[in-house]
């Protein structure tokens, strides 16, 4: 093969990201010089549906001018719920655990199909969803409500329906194989280790992945998790040939295998991003992901080009993998540079999907403990909430706003919201709100992932509970907060803080009250 052919071959096996709302020199070079096969978008690239559509048009135009025989695949993490990259102008559909709580897997198909329809209209052709991990560790810092639940068989039904919903429009991705659900470490920060053997994994973690494979999942993402009972060499699953062989031979998966981002600390601070990119391709992974830094992207691709030029065995592996990659791109790629964007039709579709979101939230099991109460509009309400923060680096700092004031104003004419900042101590908070809390008719507290009975949120709840017995508690993230507080009066777990989720949660306290 000549130099250009090798360059194009290698480029197809990488997915990269870039900064900004417009095409910049870095991504232009990735397309024109390195022929990357896929681009991943983050919120840093996203302003509005029309802007995203136009950005993707420009990227596809560059690819066509560079002589690509297939369109670039445009990917995004649109899991919905807590993890979503597109927010403004898009429907805010339920996340996995919210869907799982409905006990109706068909909702997963409808919801993920709705999301995929919106993505497809913008030119996005590859969704890095659904999460197929079993959340069998409540203290997991990175999966949590991103999972359909802690029961492998139930999760499997939702995973299969989610894949079918997405792939009516675009490519889906099962993640994070062999399973990221039983970790206590976020792989964005360091390398998690799971001691489970294959027998345990077959009986638990593999079950949802097998379900997704059965319905034809286009791709599978490997986890940056080390399984010493599987891999003697200290390699995370995302770089392991043994893990690839389990997928190919035991689970009979013949689709595309992709790494999680190789700039995450689990990789960057161990084997290193550049080494990992080459190692992944050498060990049979089809596509390596480098989401952020141009210098690391260019350096890694150059190393892979050099190895493909000098190492015939590596070139043979790439050529075999390329059959899967090309089939993947040809099936799901779409030239969008000549398409037009209809804002009115898109808005109508989004509005229709918002109705679906509300229906699903109403069917979810968010009302874990709900006494027979009906708060009234003119009754006074004190709302105590906490400053929302990032619990894992997979989350988006631009999407932490909670529409609490907007929603409560629809039901109450007499309320006050007190936000406890991260700097406030338990003592200063109680001093500020302890005396006034008893003068309100009702007290509502919202929490985010209470970790222990010593957590500031739990301590403030218990201190207030000594004065006021009837405190309504809404857990706006993981549903496990209740185990760290005692004598609950009302407990609502909407699993996430999207507007519709919060609206349905608050409406449960104001039964019979029409929202404004």
Among candidate residues 243, 224, 229, 235, the one with its CA nearest the CA of residue 195: 229
Residue 206 has phi, psi (to 5 degrees) of -70, -25
Rounded Cα distance, 3 and 48, in Å: 40
CB of 157 within 8 A of CB of 112?
A: no
DSSP lists the bridge partners of residue 505 as none
How is residue 462 written in tokens? 């218990």
Task: Fill in the DSSP letter of residue 71.
Answer: P
CB of 507 within 8 A of CB of 476?
A: no
Rounded Cα distance, 37 and 7, in Å: 11
How is residue 461 written in tokens? 């709840």
Task: Fill in the DSSP letter of residue 248.
Answer: I
| Residue 177 CB contacts under 8 Å (≥ 6 apart), including other chains | 132, 209, 220, 221, 222, 223, 237, 243, 247
CB of 455 within 8 A of CB of 484?
A: yes
Q: Quick check: is 70 catalytic?
A: no
DSSP lists the bridge partners of residue 50 as none
Catalytic option among 70, 180, 188, 353: 188
| Residue 243 CB contacts under 8 Å (≥ 6 apart), including other chains | 177, 178, 222, 227, 230, 231, 237
Strand bridging mode 490-492 / 367-369: antiparallel
Rounded Cα distance, 274 and 277, in Å: 5
- DSSP code string of 303-316: HHHHHHHH-HHHHH
Structural element, H or E, at residue 39: strand 38-41
Rounded Cα distance, 38 and 18, in Å: 12
Task: Fill in the DSSP letter of residue 250.
Answer: I
Map residue 97 onto helix, strand or coil.
helix
Q: Quick check: is 399 catalytic?
A: no
Rounded Cα distance, 54 and 339, in Å: 10
Map residue 110 onto helix, strand or coil.
helix
Catalytic option among 186, 260, 286, 396: 260
Question: How many residues are present in the chain?
Answer: 516
Rounded Cα distance, 503 and 421, in Å: 23
Rounded Cα distance, 350 and 89, in Å: 8
How is residue 281 written in tokens? 């391709």
Among candidate residues 389, 409, 492, the one with its CA nearest the CA of residue 141: 389
What residues act catalytically? 188, 260
């Amino acid at each position: 093969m000549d130099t250009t052919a090798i360059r194009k071959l290698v480029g197809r096996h990488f997915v990269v990201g870039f900064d900004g709302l417009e095409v910049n020199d870095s991504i232009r070079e990735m397309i024109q010089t390195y022929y990357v096969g896929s681009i991943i978008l983050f919120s840093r690239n996203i302003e509005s549906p029309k802007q995203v559509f136009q950005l993707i048009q420009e990227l596809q135009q560059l690819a066509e001018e560079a002589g690509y025989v297939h369109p670039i695949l445009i990917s995004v993490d649109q899991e919905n719920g807590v993890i979503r990259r597109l927010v403004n102008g898009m429907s805010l559909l339920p996340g996995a655990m919210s869907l799982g709580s409905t006990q109706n897997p068909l909702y997963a198909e409808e919801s993920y199909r709705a999301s995929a329809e919106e993505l497809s209209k913008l030119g996005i052709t590859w969704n890095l969803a659904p999460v197929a991990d079993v959340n069998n560790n409540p203290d997991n810092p990175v999966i949590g409500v991103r999972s359909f639940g802690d029961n492998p068989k139930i999760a499997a039904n939702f995973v299969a329906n989610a894949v079918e919903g997405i792939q009516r429009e675009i490519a889906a991705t099962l993640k994070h194989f062999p399973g990221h659900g039983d970790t206590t470490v976020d792989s964005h920060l360091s390398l998690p280790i799971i001691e489970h053997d294959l027998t345990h994994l077959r009986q638990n973690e593999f079950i949802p992945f097998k379900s997704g494979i059965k319905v034809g999942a286009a791709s599978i993402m490997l986890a940056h998790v080390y399984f010493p009972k599987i891999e003697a060499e200290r390699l995370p699953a995302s770089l392991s040939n043994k893990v690839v062989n389990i997928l190919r031979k035991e689970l009979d998966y013949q689709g595309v295998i992709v790494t999680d981002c190789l700039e995450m600390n689990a990789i960057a601070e161990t084997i290193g991003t550049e080494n990992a990119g080459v190692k992944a391709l050498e060990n049979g992974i089809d596509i390596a992901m480098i989401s952020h830094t141009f210098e690391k992207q260019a350096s890694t691709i150059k190393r892979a080009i050099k190895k493909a030029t000098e190492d015939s065995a590596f070139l043979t592996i790439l050529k075999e993998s390329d059959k899967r990659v090309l089939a993947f791109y040809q099936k799901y790629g779409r030239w969008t540079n000549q398409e037009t964007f209809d804002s009115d039709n898109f808005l109508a579709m989004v509005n229709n999907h918002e109705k679906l979101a509300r229906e699903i939230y109403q069917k979810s099991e968010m009302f874990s403990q709900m006494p027979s109460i009906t708060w009234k509009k003119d009754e006074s309400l004190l709302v105590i909430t906490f400053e929302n923060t990032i619990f894992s680096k997979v989350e988006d700092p631009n999407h932490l706003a909670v529409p609490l004031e907007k929603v409560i104003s629809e039901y109450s004419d007499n309320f006050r919201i007190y936000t406890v900042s991260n700097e406030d101590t338990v003592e200063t908070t109680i001093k500020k709100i302890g005396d006034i809390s008893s003068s309100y008719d009702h007290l509502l507290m919202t929490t985010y992932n209470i970790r222990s009975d010593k957590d500031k949120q739990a301590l403030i709840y218990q201190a207030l509970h000594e004065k006021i017995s009837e405190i309504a508690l809404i857990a706006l993230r993981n549903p496990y907060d209740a185990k760290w507080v005692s004598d609950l009066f009302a407990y609502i777990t909407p699993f996430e803080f999207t507007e519709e989720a919060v609206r349905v949660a608050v409406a449960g306290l104001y039964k019979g009250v029409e929202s404004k």
